């Protein structure tokens, strides 16, 4: 949901249940220079499944996040932020063609049949989307919706922190902006899985648009907790083991593979189940042949290789979160920053 024009010096802010991350980018043509980045852990209880419970604590942590940004200090007050995935809805609809006003009216009539929202208490945005099988007299539209209560809470809290929210974006759109080329070529469909702190988000992309999104309970936090519990490690040491050793059998910790194997198999089953759902319920759907991982949980060493053994017909790789960013020897961001980078790239794509 846009609030103002976006032609400002600004930064991207990824708001998660367990952390805040920012990326400050300067557009240079169709690339960007990464000027600054930072992250901060958020105490439990500030958010509850995306709902902002303690706005004062949120503001305190956001102020600290901006203050610790480096190497360049952030002076702008303008921000592109993301909305909580658990409160947003994306739906691809087939609507009778007409004027923009007529299409908007038809969307408001049709959307309640597909998402559990009170349309009169929701913000709705949409755009024309490419169609897999165009029907005469119809157009496909990609619709995004969020309860006004949730959106207004985020907007008001950001303003209370002294910021100006230029846009509030659905997380999946920011992730795609980061991981896709500026002009994606016609290619086979693929899935992006964002493995976050408390859940994983699946984004199905085909025919030049998002087809649908779905969540799964597999999370980075659960991985760390299991390693900590089974190996009697502190959370900090378990996190280090997850990233440095992970599922790589060459690193001499077969016990980690054994501990995490049930979780990996469960994730593989979720992928196969969602792939089948896509093929069965979406007209013109094509078999998924590739999958990209991002988010903090994707830093689990060896995860793509182990998943490919479970699902051999799908090519699995890590996303390239830095593809639109000029190399900066002073700073580089891992895949945990995918959403923040995608938000920060908004002006690059729109310029």
Average pLDDT value for residue range 161-182 = 94
Ordered domains of the chain (ranges, CATH): 10-86+149-181+323-350 (3.30.420.40), 88-147 (3.30.1490.300), 190-318 (3.30.420.40)
pLDDT confidence band for 252 (50 / 70 / 90): low
Task: Please give the Cα distance from 186 to 206 (Å, whole number).
Answer: 9
Work out the end-to-end distance of the chain between its first and last CA atoms, rounded to an integer number of angstroms: 18
pTM over 0.85: yes
Q: What are 102-154's pLDDT values in tens digits?
A: 999 999 999 999 989 999 999 999 999 887 666 788 999 999 999 999 999 99
CB atoms within 10 A of CB 237: 14
Concatenating the DSSP letter of every residue in 91-124 gives EEEEEE---HHHHHHHHHHHGGGTSS--GGGEEE
Q: What is the largest CA-CA distance in the chain?
A: 63
Average pLDDT value for residue range 162-175 = 96
- What pLDDT score was predicted for residue 350? 65
Strands 122-129 and 200-206, sheet pairing: unpaired
How far lies 206's CA from each of 145, 154, 189, 190, 209, in Å? Answer: 21, 31, 5, 7, 6
Q: What are 299-338's pLDDT values in tens digits?
A: 998 999 999 999 999 999 999 999 999 877 888 789 999 9
Q: What are 228-243's pLDDT values in tens digits?
A: 999 899 999 998 888 8
Query: In whole angstroms, what separates CA 281 from the centre of its chain?
Result: 23
Task: Please give the Cα distance from 290 to 314 (Å, whole number).
Answer: 5
CA angle 120, 123, 129 (to 5 degrees): 115
């Amino acid at each position: 949901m846009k609030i103002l024009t976006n032609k400002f010096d600004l930064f991207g802010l990824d708001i998660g249940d367990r952390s805040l991350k920012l990326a400050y980018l300067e557009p240079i043509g169709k690339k960007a220079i990464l000027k600054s980045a930072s992250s901060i852990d958020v105490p439990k209880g500030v958010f509850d499944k995306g709902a902002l419970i303690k706005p004062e604590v949120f503001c305190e942590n956001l102020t600290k996040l901006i203050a610790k940004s480096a190497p360049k200090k952030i002076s702008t007050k303008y921000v592109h932020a993301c909305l909580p995935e658990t409160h947003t809805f994306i739906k691809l609809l087939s609507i009778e063609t007409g004027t923009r006003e007529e299409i908007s009216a038809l969307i408001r009539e049709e959307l309640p049949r597909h998402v559990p929202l009170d349309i009169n208490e929701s913000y709705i945005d949409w755009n024309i989307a490419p169609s897999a099988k165009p029907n005469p007299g119809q157009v496909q539209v990609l619709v995004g919706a969020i309860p006004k209560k949730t959106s207004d809470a985020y907007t008001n809290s950001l303003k209370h922190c002294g910021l100006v929210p230029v846009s509030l974006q659905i997380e999946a759109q920011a992730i795609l902006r980061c991981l896709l080329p500026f002009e994606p070529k016609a290619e086979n469909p693929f899935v992006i899985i964002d493995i976050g702190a408390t859940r994983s988000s699946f984004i199905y992309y085909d025919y030049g648009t998002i087809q649908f999104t779905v969540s799964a309970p597999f999370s980075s936090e659960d991985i760390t907790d299991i390693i900590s519990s089974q190996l009697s490690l502190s959370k900090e040491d378990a996190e280090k083991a997850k990233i440095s050793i992970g599922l790589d059998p060459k690193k001499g910790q077969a016990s980690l593979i054994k501990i995490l194997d049930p979780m990996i198999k469960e994730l593989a089953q979720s992928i196969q189940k969602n792939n089948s759902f896509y093929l069965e319920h979406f007209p013109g759907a094509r078999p998924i042949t590739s999958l990209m991982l991002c988010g903090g949980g994707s830093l689990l060493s060896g995860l793509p290789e182990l998943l490919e053994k479970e699902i051999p017909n799908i090519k699995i790789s890590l996303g390239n979160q830095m593809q639109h960013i000029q190399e900066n020897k002073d700073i580089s961001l891992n895949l945990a920053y995918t959403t923040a980078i995608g938000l920060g790239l908004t002006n690059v794509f729109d310029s």
